[in-house]
Amino acid sequence: MFKKVSEIVEIIEQYHKGLSEYFISLKAQTGDERVLLLLEFLGKGEAFLAEYLEKYRKTAPRRIMHAWVKYVPWLPTDIYCECRKNLHLQPPLVTYNVLDAALHFDDCLISFYTTLVQEIDNERVGEVFSNLLRVTKKHEMNLARDVSWLHDL
């Protein structure tokens, strides 16, 4: 199966939108101020990433966005649902469970990007997903570090 780069980027946009909505929806399940702050932080961060990817998809060079990629059939077209089915956050929500969930979602995306990078033959197209992979790995490391401030509240 083949997909355009723009279609794959749109799948990733939807992933981040789904995560944003998920984290925001979890706010109704807690009264813990730290968890509320974390969920708000995560929800807004995912919404920002979705918006960024939408802008990128619309402004990136046409030759990149319209390039065809051999899309690995066993990669889900809805990676949000695929990753979500293996995760069940139950009240009472605590910061470390929410953080673990966020890291789980990053790991799913890292796996998705890694597979794409390995399968792409076009060097310029591969760079798009290599860069997204690098950014996601850095985001994952920074997330754990940045959330440590919640323990000081």
Please tell me the distance from the alpha carbon of residue 87 to that of residue 100, in angstroms, as a whole number. 10
Please tell me the distance from the alpha carbon of residue 22 to that of residue 29, in angstroms, as a whole number. 12
Please tell me the distance from the alpha carbon of residue 138 to that of residue 22, in angstroms, as a whole number. 22
Can you give the length of the chain in residues?
A: 153
CATH number at residue 49: 1.20.1260.10
DSSP state, residue 93: P
Q: Alpha carbon 117 to chain centroid distance?
A: 16
> pLDDT averaged over consecutive 10-residue blocks of the chain (153 residues)?
89 92 94 93 95 96 93 65 78 89 91 89 93 93 79 59
Q: What is the dihedral of CA 73, 76, 77, 83, to 10 degrees?
A: -170
Please tell me the distance from the alpha carbon of residue 8 to that of residue 116, in angstroms, as a whole number. 10
> Which residue has 């790991």 as its token pair?
107
Please tell me the pTM assigned to this model.
Answer: 0.88
Residue 2: its pLDDT value, please?
Answer: 84
| Domain hosting residue 106, numbered range | 2-152
Residue 61: its pLDDT value, please?
Answer: 95
The total of structural domains in the chain comes to: 1
Residue 71: its pLDDT value, please?
Answer: 67
Residue 127: its pLDDT value, please?
Answer: 95
